[in-house]
Amino acid sequence: MEESSLLPPVILVHRPPALDFIDEHLSRHSFTALYTHTSLEDSLQDFLSSHAASVRAVVSLGRLPIPAEFISNLPSLEIVVCASVGFDHVDLDECRRRGVVITNAGDAYGEDVADLAVGLLISVIRRIAAVDRYVRSGQWTRLWDYPLGFKLNRKKVGIVGLGSIGSLVAKRLEPFGCIISYNSRNPKLDVPYVYYPDILSLAADNDFIILCCSLTDETHHIVNREVMETLGENGVIINIGRGGLIDEKEMVKCLVNGVIWGVGLDVFENEPEVPEELFGLENVVLSPHAAGMTAESLNNISEVAIANLKAFFADQPLMFTVQLD
């Protein structure tokens, strides 16, 4: 047996400095961990080159880009473990060409993402963030002079992407008496909700839209100006999917001009950049791509990542494998 096969596999953790929640989990198992965040950005290439031969796995946190150039510097790379549901930050073509396996977080934090989706919706329609600022600024007097919001009960809510997270969002909205419908690639025969074959028809027949789908070439800017105009002046859009699902420039114009009533956003097109025009709008609630960021979810994500690493190097079945074919 070769000596290298007896050594602990080398894992490269690609993460921002603050996202250190997985470090302790890795240290408890037989992995040798390296961290890209310990190198300055301008020396990352040297860092990768110097450790290239030994790295067999990459754990991706914080959705830092993993382009073809990154992958090409790691000739021994066999697997990329994404600590997120989305994997659009990874060059899939290069992984396919190299035969690199990709896994994601699956449903590790679906409950928390669904919670935030509903929280954003309630915050927007009841103006929770705005009235909080209203009270803190000392403007509240006995003469109530703040615009009213909407009730959630009996509102029609269209969900774009009725996968695991979209389904959890729907289940949370049912007790509020919401009328749920959805758009996805194909109708799902086992759900009690009305299916719409395209987002335009979904927008025409709903008060609010919640985006839960993944970002692909087909879903890029799936919410364009036409969709927003169709949703109407009392319409609300919640996005806990990916920023690129919405035409952000047109969204800003529609908000400013009253084409739609409001938005709740956990994701943006050019994160961490956020259009400055949104900061002064009272009909907008913003979150820093933090839908899954709870202590419980981070622990779940770590356990899934470790389980996939252990399974891979033991030639056992993996959890939440991304299909590249």
Q: Is 284 exposed, middle or buried (0-12, 13-18, 19+ CB in 10 A)?
A: buried
Lookup result for tokens 């996202």: 19
Question: Could you tell me the two tokens for 240?
Answer: 């806990």
Question: Could you tell me the two tokens for 320?
Answer: 């939440």
Strand arrangement, sheet containing 194-195: 194-195, 179-183, 156-160, 208-211, 236-239, 262-265, 284-286
Say if residue 272 is preceded by a cis peptide, omega within 30 of 0: yes
Q: How far apart are CA 253 and CA 230, in angstroms?
A: 15
Q: Does residue 55 contact residue 74 with C-beta atoms inside 8 Å?
A: yes
Q: How far apart are CA 230 and CA 221, in angstroms?
A: 15
Identify the H or E element spanning 211: strand 208-211
Task: Output the CA angle 210-211-213, nearest 5 degrees.
Answer: 145
Q: What is the dihedral of CA 267, 269, 270, 276, to 10 degrees?
A: -80
Q: How far apart are CA 166 and CA 292, in angstroms?
A: 14
Lookup result for tokens 């799936």: 222
Q: How far apart are CA 96 and CA 217, in angstroms?
A: 17
Catalytic residues: 242, 271, 289
Question: Could you tell me the two tokens for 24?
Answer: 């302790």
Q: Does residue 44 contact residue 21 with C-beta atoms inside 8 Å?
A: no
